[in-house]
Amino acid sequence: MALQAIAFYLFSAIVIGAAFLVISSRNPVHSVLFLILAFFNAAGLFVLLGAEFLAMILVVVYVGAVAVLFLFVVMMLDIDFVELRQGFLQYMPMGVVIGSIVLVELIFVLGAVTVAPEISAPAAFPVPPVSEQANTAALGQILYTDYVYFFQAAGMILLVAMIGAIVLTLRTREGVRRQKISEQVGRRRAEGVELVKVRPGDGI
């Protein structure tokens, strides 16, 4: 029990520290790397809770695909870091307001749990025990029955984000040849084939 408590506090401290560095780092590449660190430690917390499937999905999908995709997109955006540092203080008041609102909401949530602990009792065991139903089966039943519309909405949001990342990186650069499918399909034989009569001994 003591070992589990030590692991919980260790993973939690690293997650909180990495999350703070994600939003406070001025270099977007460093922010993505700290995000990957936060995902790994969140997966460790899922393992402690007995949700091995969620931990595996978090590492395989978010760390292996989404976070790496964010990293490559950020590296290809060619961001002007000097201009980014100059405009940092411009958004500080709005950031303080949003952070204060989130802090007040967290205080209300924690205060409600402390004053009325019975409200968190139904959420202690949201899925059946492992002996009655497997972790993966219980998660699939909840996602695709009770929260199927929210699941589809999350998929649409990820699709829009992926399209936005492609649009941001799809730029026309001078000196770079791009494939044009319409021109290839509409090309005629006369445009690509040239008949040359070469006399013997003259060469081309």
Does residue 47 sit in the same domain as residue 16? Answer: yes
DSSP state of 90: G
Does residue 151 sit in the same domain as residue 104? Answer: no
> 154 lies in a domain?
yes
pLDDT at 55: 84
> 105 lies in a domain?
yes
pLDDT at 199: 80
pLDDT at 127: 47
CA distances from 88 to 27, 85, 97, 204 (A): 12, 5, 15, 64
Does residue 55 sit in the same domain as residue 96? Answer: no
Does residue 73 sit in the same domain as residue 6? Answer: yes
* Calpha distance 201→182 (Å, rounded): 41
* Calpha distance 166→162 (Å, rounded): 6
Q: Which residue blocks in the chain are alpha helix, DSSP H?
A: 2-24, 28-49, 52-57, 68-76, 81-86, 92-115, 135-141, 148-169, 181-185, 189-192
CA angle centred on 49, ends 40 and 99, rounded to 5°: 60
> 185 lies in a domain?
no
Check: CB of residue 38 under 8 Å from CB of residue 70: no
> 165 lies in a domain?
yes
Q: Which of 161, 140, 147 is nearest to 62 (CA)?
A: 161
> 193 lies in a domain?
no
DSSP state of 133: S
Total count of domains within the chain: 3
Residue 22 Cα to chain centre, angstroms: 12
Lookup: tokens for 107: 């205080």
Domain, as residue range, for 155 = 129-172
Q: Which residue has the tokens 């936005």?
A: 164
Length of the chain: 204
Residue 73 contacts by C-beta under 8 Å, 6 or more apart in sequence? 165, 168, 169
* Calpha distance 25→14 (Å, rounded): 16
Residue 144 contacts by C-beta under 8 Å, 6 or more apart in sequence? 151
pTM of the full structure = 0.51
DSSP state of 143: I
Does residue 7 sit in the same domain as residue 68? Answer: yes
* Calpha distance 178→136 (Å, rounded): 44
- pLDDT digits (tens), the chain, 204 positions: 677 788 888 888 888 988 888 888 877 777 878 888 888 888 888 888 877 888 888 888 877 777 777 767 766 666 665 665 565 566 677 677 777 877 776 677 666 555 555 555 554 444 445 456 677 788 888 888 888 899 899 999 989 988 988 888 777 667 777 778 888 888 888 887 888 787 887 766
pLDDT at 18: 86
